[in-house]
Structure 1
Amino acid sequence: MMRRRLFIRLGGLGLALLAGASALHAQVDVKAILDDPDAPMAGDPKGDVTIVAFLDYNCPFCKKASPELEKLARGDGHIRLIYKDWPILSQASVHGAKLALAARYQGKYGAAHAALMGLTGKGRTEDDMTAAVAAAGIDMARLQADLDAHDAEISALLQRNRAQAEALGLEGTPVFLIGPYKIAQALDRDGFAKVVARVRAGARR
């Protein structure tokens, strides 16, 4: 199926508008993207705007945008934020994603995510990522136990994220799905806020 995209300009931002269901690959299951019970979530679970973030912990642009997005979600109070760990840059990226997802079993995904995004630069090693998570106050013995016990579930989630990204035709990280818009670039808080405002304006029409 051909993907139809309409391009608009908003405050200097180039946004791709997914024109309804026909804009998506035939194999995309929108409900699976938005409602995967294993995908970590932040913000308001009943928020009026949902943002889906495809990220890699070795992506410098992800590290730039992720804190800005989280500031917006906290300040706004009505945004549902869904994380899609999509480790595509290195084996260390896979390791980092697994650490973060395993931390979720002790309610610490957010802490692990912030620690990993806080590592400066690209090309960080598995040891770097493990050290960052440990420094965030996460119980590493429990984390290892959860990695071992839930390896199949974590690997399956990463595979689902990868399949969804490929079905959407994503080419790299970061990518943010905000309502009908696909943003494949790092934005600051104001940039994200402008897109959210446009989504809300469209919903009121």
Structure 2
Amino acid sequence: MRKFLLLLLGIGCLTASAQQLPRKPLPPRPAPGGAAGMDDTDAQLMQSARDLGETLGQGLGLLLSSGGGWDSFCNRIDAGLGWGVDYGGLGLKINYQAPAAFGVTAGFGYNTGYGSHPGDDQKWFWNAGLQLWCTDHWNWEFGVGPRYFKKFDDTQLGISMLTHYQHQIWGRLGAIGGIGFSLSTKTPDGFKKGDVAVRFEWNVGLVFRLFSD
């Protein structure tokens, strides 16, 4: 009987001691939506990148659609003076913009790089293009015209793709600027088959509205 009482007493002491011991804390749960193995710093960087991308996207959309329309839903004919691929270098261009989306452009000017390289042997350049106007201010343009490709040291016919932002300054006067690239349409002798050169393109100039209905 004494042994049985001692056994009960020992079990009671062990139970009381176990209840008084502090519990070992559990490991923290991962943040909701976090990737496996990603620490807090990586998660914060990813969230910051998302926020920055969203802010830049909203700002770009606001810029491209900012301001009132410039003779919206009209047939428009503009004359331009500027520098860049659309102007054939330093020159003039004419642009037609339909009431919705469609446009065409053609330019002719002096090749400002004429004679600076052995293959840059055309003094005058031209350019022609088709446009997709997403708003009265913003378009995409696909063009064709002679280009000097430094990689080939040769002037070739090039196909270009650019995007432009145009804005009315006052009355019939506006400004336009754009960036893009062009590709050579052929490969000169001595280069591997399929070797195609890429060239950075840009435009900046003034726009004068000749006609709108």
TM-score by length of 1: 0.23
Greater relative contact order, per chain length (Cα 8 Å cut-off, separation 6+): 1
Structure 1 or 2: more helix by fraction: 1
* Max Rg structure: 2
Structure 1 or 2: more strand by fraction: 2
